[in-house]
Amino acid sequence: MATTDLSHIRNFSIVAHIDHGKSTISDRILEMTNTVEERDMESQLLDTMDIERERGITIKSNAVRVMYTADDGETYQFNLIDTPGHVDFTYEVSRSLAACEGAVLVVDATQGVEAQTVSNANLAMNADLEIVPAINKIDLPSAHPDEVKVEIEDELAVPAEDAVCVSGKTGEGIHDLLEAIVFLVPPPEGDAGAPLKALVLDSYFDEYRGVVAMVRVFDGHVAKGDELTMMQTGQDFLADGVGVKRPVEVPVDELGPGEVGFVVTGLKDPESVRVGDTLTYRDRPCAEALPGYREAKPMVYTGIFPVDNKDYEDLRDALEKLHVNDPSLVWEPETSVALGFGFRVGFLGLLHMEVVKERLEREFDLDLIATSPSVDYHVYLTDGETTDVRSPQDLPDVTRIDHIEEPYLSAKVIVPPEFTGAVMQLAVEHRGVMANMDYLSDKSVEMRFDIPLAELILDFFDQLKSRTKGYASLDYEFSEYRPSDLVKLDILLSGDDVDALSFIVHRDKAYTLARGLCDKLKEIIPRQLFEVPIQGAIGNKIIARSTVKARRKDVLAKCYGGDISRKRKLLEKQKEGKKRMKSIGSVEVPQEAFLAILKVDE
Ligand SMILES: Nc1nc2c(ncn2[C@@H]2O[C@H](COP(=O)(O)OP(=O)(O)OP(=O)(O)O)[C@@H](O)[C@H]2O)c(=O)[nH]1
């Protein structure tokens, strides 16, 4: 396959608020351009990870080449880049946009503009992309596309006369959308004769081929056998192959200016290829590297420990491999008296944390325990020093602390007016302070408030959804560090302090949370052969307690001697349960106990 003339290439992303239908529209595009035979069509083709399919969400961006023969008779090469919609993955969206000239902005015709629609539209505009609005789900009876057009113009300042009305479900309007892409998205520019200049959009590790880099070529060409270098890391290598995804991998002779595809590097060290780096010729490098990406800053930290301590090295290895295609992941070793050796891992948000933990368990077959999430506290000591504390157990003794500062966010919630009271109350319960409130239209209100990140990572999002019947949408960004009256709450099991269960909390909430947590742990920790007192303490002061009563009977006592197979089954069941347990002193503690704080209803 030769490279395509620049005027016949269109590179675009599809961006939207979560669940507005990006993946469904991408599927229809693949189907209608015969990229995928109908019989091979499964839904959410671009969501390749199991977790993505099961949860119906997109986590990673994905780039696919589609050939489209337009009404003008010409065949165009579309490089379609699917992006995630959840606020945790905004970073991934901005990466994809750097490779495009246009963005299809999908807005659900029943929901209208939501918080992530606004921020994604802004990202696309800041990247100077041509925006093609697409109003989706017009097959639904509750669709109100004309009102959504007005919202797009008023709230996003994007002209909506060109907005295409589509249904990802029935395929209606998808043809018009493809035509709009041809006409509205500008073709890429690039110099075919210049030395190679390509942006690494993403990379992943393959057991057999080493690191595979997804790239967007800006100038020059790349082909199998080229001697290349990564400008940031200085890593040289020989291109082992180049190709495109359709969405299965198809080798091509070369990738030229404006094209998107993959380069097999053969490199075994995942660290040698960084997303955002510039790929060029070793002996004839381009004059300067592409701007690259802003580093993603982790917001949430948690301890991750192998259930079985001998898996520690495997866990480190797995983190290194995941890091190749998720550069936002950071970690450092952490030791816990209760859980042994593990890592303190930084994430972009709670969903990111869940996804990483699940990928580690599934893709690398590890049994893991995650401890309750924490933020990065700035602790000012009486001796004038400051220290960053990301794990409650690292908090210095109170006598050494002058004051503590915690990160605050500026949060934006968009809701129908009838829910403003509920949102305000929720915000106050989470130490939020209202900054302002704006009527975007008579159907939606934008509320802005300052709120500590630590509050948002507990159960804020779930509560927001349930108290607004799912109508509210949330977006947030870091604002500043502010002083807070924070204390460390310790949890003692049978009188022993369990470091992995302690957490940092605002003093005003310590009593309620301690009581809630002791009660929750009492439900979670199974009865043992002896009584287990659970206590919550600040320093030496016990502020809450509960007790797990002793178990009276042995499981086997149920089967009166004879039936051996039944006996074996019961023992096996018990063993299965044990795998997910961790012995803390003499107490068997299940995995959920370490995340119980997320489930305490205040
Ligand atoms: N009725 C109807 N449902 C649709 C349409 N498009 C998508 N859906 C449904 O809306 C839900 C979300 O669609 P997705 O394509 O997964 O949304 P997404 O924007 O890719 O979501 P993320 O990848 O998680 O950000 C799914 O249940 C789809 O079946 C449509 O045109 N009509």
Per residue in 22-76, pLDDT (tens digit) is 889 988 998 888 776 554 555 555 555 555 555 544 545 568 899 999 999 999 9
Closest CA to 97 of 58, 63, 47: 63
Q: Looking at the predicted structure, is the pLDDT value of residue 559 above 80?
A: no
| Ligand 1: nearest atom to the Cα of 168 | 31
Cα-Cα end-to-end distance for the chain: 61
| Ligand 1: nearest atom to the Cα of 167 | 31
- CA of 476 relative to ligand 1 center, distance in Å: 23
Our answer on whether the CB atom of 534 is closer than 6 Å to any ligand 1 atom is no
Q: What is the pLDDT of residue 102?
A: 95
Q: What is the pLDDT of residue 535?
A: 94
Please, which contacts does 146-151 make with residues 24 or more away whose CB atoms are closer than 8 Å?
Answer: 147/112, 147/443, 148/107, 148/109, 148/112, 148/113, 150/441, 151/107, 151/112, 151/113, 151/440, 151/441, 151/444
Contact 377, 484 (CB under 8 A): no
Least confident of 422-436, 500-514, 543-557: 543-557
Distance CA 85, CA 25 (A): 14
Scored b (16 or more CB within 10 A) or e, 536-567 reads: bbbeeeebbebebeeeeeeeeeeeeeeeeeee
List C-alpha distances in Å: 511 to 132, 293, 515. 52, 43, 6
- CA of 138 relative to ligand 1 center, distance in Å: 12
Distance CA 149, CA 155 (A): 10
Mutate to test the pocket of ligand 1, among 24, 42, 172 (most ligand atoms within 8 A of CB): 24
Cis bond upstream, residue 247 (ω within 30): yes
| Ligand 1: nearest atom to the Cα of 136 | 31
Distance CA 532, CA 72 (A): 76
Binding residues for GTP: 19-24, 136-139
- CA of 251 relative to ligand 1 center, distance in Å: 31
Our answer on whether the CB atom of 165 is closer than 6 Å to any ligand 1 atom is no
Q: What is the pLDDT of residues 414-471, one digit of tens each?
A: 888 999 999 999 999 999 999 999 887 777 888 999 999 999 887 788 788 888 887 7
| Mean pLDDT estimate for the chain | 85
Name the amino acid, one letter, at 29. Answer: I
Write down the residue that tokens 């671009």 correspond to: 46
Q: Spell out the alpha helix ranges (H) of 248-325.
A: 312-325
- CA of 435 relative to ligand 1 center, distance in Å: 33
Our answer on whether the CB atom of 303 is closer than 6 Å to any ligand 1 atom is no
Q: How confident is the model at residue 555 (pLDDT cuts 50, 70, 90)?
A: low
Q: What is the pLDDT of residue 88?
A: 62
Our answer on whether the CB atom of 28 is closer than 6 Å to any ligand 1 atom is no
- CA of 216 relative to ligand 1 center, distance in Å: 27
Q: What is the pLDDT of residue 567?
A: 61
Q: How confident is the model at residue 543 (pLDDT cuts 50, 70, 90)?
A: very high
Q: What does pTM read for this prediction?
A: 0.68
Q: What is the pLDDT of residues 362-388, one digit of tens each?
A: 888 888 888 888 999 999 999 999 999
Our answer on whether the CB atom of 22 is closer than 6 Å to any ligand 1 atom is yes
Q: Specify which residues 411 forms β-bridges with.
A: 449, 476
How many residues can be counted in the chain? 602
Binding residues: 19-24, 136-139
